Amino acid sequence: MKSRIEILPEKKLVGKSVKISLANNKTFDLWKNFMPQRKEIKNIVSSNMYSMQVYNQSFDFNPHTEFEKWATVEVSGFDDIPIDLDTFLLQSGLYAVFIHKGSSTDNSTFNYIFSTWLPNSEYSLDNRPHFEILGEKYKNGDPNSEEEIWIPIKRKE
């Protein structure tokens, strides 16, 4: 599986968030609540949507450990944000980017990243948000769907 390393510029995101765990996954409900309000957001930069996870520094991938899940879009500024939506400033940083093809419930790409690619790379996980870019090739529930997985990294010391 191919990857690329990119320095992500700072991004202004607008959307909704919820506390979830892998065992209590409310991702579907989050997006269902966000999508109707998406039309009210001004200054949207592109049609890309960002599915973002903000983990605690000590996140251990235990199925019951909670983290913050976001459904967002990128905007050019935080002016005139609709009620019930929040802002998030995604800091610039180094990321490993992978293309995932298939259903979003297929975890094989994530398994590869964390069990094969990361341990054998010159990078370690950094404590910044993880996210997926749901672009033009993303088709929810379709086996031909494509999305980009962005994993925050730093050089191993």
pLDDT one-digit tens code per residue, 40-82: 999 999 999 999 999 987 667 788 889 999 999 999 999 989 9
Structure tokens at 7: 């320095």
pLDDT at res. 93: 97
The pTM of the full predicted model, rounded to 2 decimals, is 0.94
Cα dihedral 15→58→102→97 (10° resolution): 80
Query: Would you list the domain boundaries of the chain?
Result: 3-155
Type of residue at 111: N
**What class, spelled out in words, does domain 3-155 have in CATH?**
alpha beta
What pLDDT is recorded for position 17?
Answer: 97
- pLDDT, residue 157, reads 82
Distance from the Cα of residue 38 to its chain's centroid: 17
* Predicted pLDDT at 59: 65
Q: What would the pLDDT profile of 107-123 be if each residue is shown by its tens digit? A: 889 999 999 999 999 99
pLDDT value, residue 124? 94
Q: What is the mean pLDDT of residues 126-144?
A: 92
Share of the chain above pLDDT 90, in %: 81
Task: Count CB neighbours of 19 within 10 A.
Answer: 11
pLDDT averaged over every residue in the chain: 93
